Structure 1
Amino acid sequence: MSSSRIEQIIEEIEDYIDTCKGPLFSSGDKIVVERERMEELLRELRLKTPEEIKRYQKILANKDAILADAQQKAEAIIAQANIQNQELVNEHEIMQQAYEQANQVIEMATNQAQDILDNATRDANEIRRGAIQYTDDMLANMQTMVQEVVETSNSRYSAMMKNFQDFYDTIISNRQELAPETASVKEETEETTEEPETDDQQ
């Protein structure tokens, strides 16, 4: 089975992820991706998925066509055998021989028709299993990829919020440490800004 566009897109995503670098001061399991590029690949993947599923549904539908064609061939063989049988029977001089030959022909034709039906059924079932397995593998890869993207996004968001909280706590702590010094500077500023008394005021 040839490579589908969905497989190509998944390979492109994997190759793109391999080229992405991780953020500074982070563990090796995190990377920074270009959002526009990732959304473009996911958008095309979302558009191609229904087409691929329809294509494999069409393959599954071919099972009925294979069985119908095999049934038609089997019926044609049996019909031809019956014609030969009738022709032999009509020759009354060799009636018994005709019956024996006719029965042999019918038995051979029946066996051949059954073989065709068995082979067609086996081929159709193999096609069906292959198509279902391929579709399931494709969806499993998509599920894993989307799950990794979601987990990576959640992890980045949590880390970012923790950094903001730590920075906020540091600011609060620094202001609390500066509180006594700030009050002293304010008092000195008020004293220096007071106007001296004049002779009229004395």
Structure 2
Amino acid sequence: MEILTILETLEELVERSASVPFSGKCLIDREEVFEIIKEMRIKLPDDIKQAKWVKEERQRILLEAQKEANNIMKDAENKIASLVDEHEITKKAYEQANEIIAGAQKNAREIRLGAREYADSVLNKVEEILTDATDVIRTNRSELK
């Protein structure tokens, strides 16, 4: 900022000016001081505008950074939610698969038991028929003798 340079020039003018003995005051060239003040008035609006622009630009950058940070946070939250959902979906799929397998195993057991009972029932019938046939054969043989 140029205004700081001008203020330093003013300080130098005061420092190099002749001092009035026993008073703590100094003699300054009035025209030179007015010239410095005039230069300050000219430069001050530019420096204020520049400072205002820097402040606004800083604010804009901060807002952009905040928006970007919020977007990153939302993306991260969505990704986490997606991963959790995928985990839940996978978990449910495993549960359903286990239920289907358990049901299939139960049905297989029931079918095996049913098949055994049916086979036992058929064999029992065959045994009864054979027993009856054997009895008939014995009776017929006895009659033949």
- How many residue pairs align between the two structures? 99
Q: Structure 1 residue 181: deviation in Å?
A: 2.2
**Distance in structure 1 (CA, Å) of the matches to 2:127 and 2:45:** 123
Higher share of residues assigned helix = 2
Q: Does 1:147 align with 2:93?
A: yes
State percent identity of aligned pairs: 6
Q: Which has the larger radius of gyration?
A: 2
Aligned to 2:143: none
Counterpart Cα distance in 1 of 2:86 and 2:74: 18
Identify unmatched segments of 5+ residues in structure 1: 1-90, 190-202
Task: Verify: 1:180 aligned to 2:95, yes or no.
Answer: no
Alignment-derived partner of residue 71 in structure 2: 125
Q: Measure, in 1, the Cα distance between the counterparts of 2:130 and 2:66.
A: 97
> In 1, Cα distance between the equivalents of 2:47 and 2:59?
18
Gapped regions of structure 2 (runs ≥ 5): 1-36, 136-145
Whole-angstrom CA distance in 2 between matches of 1:107 and 1:180: 107
The within-5 A match list for 1:16-165 is 94-165=40-111
In the aligned structure 2, how far is the partner of 1:113 from the partner of 1:129?
A: 24
Q: CA deviation at 1:94?
A: 3.5
Highest RCO, 1 vs 2 (Cα 8 Å, sep ≥ 6) = 1
**Greater than 2 Å deviation, 4+ residue runs:** 91-95, 183-189
TM-score (norm 2): 0.59
Residues 1:140 and 1:95: Cα distance change in structure 2 (over 3 Å): same
Separation in 2 of the partners of 1:180 and 1:120? 88
Q: Structure 1 residues 187 and 107, CA, compared in 2 at 3 Å: closer, same or farther?
A: same
Distance (whole Å) between structure 2 residues aligned to residue 122 and residue 152 of structure 1: 44
Q: Which protein has the bigger strand share?
A: 2
Give 1:186 shift: 6.5
Q: CA RMSD in A?
A: 2.6
TM-aligned CA distance change 1:104 to 1:167, over 3 Å: same
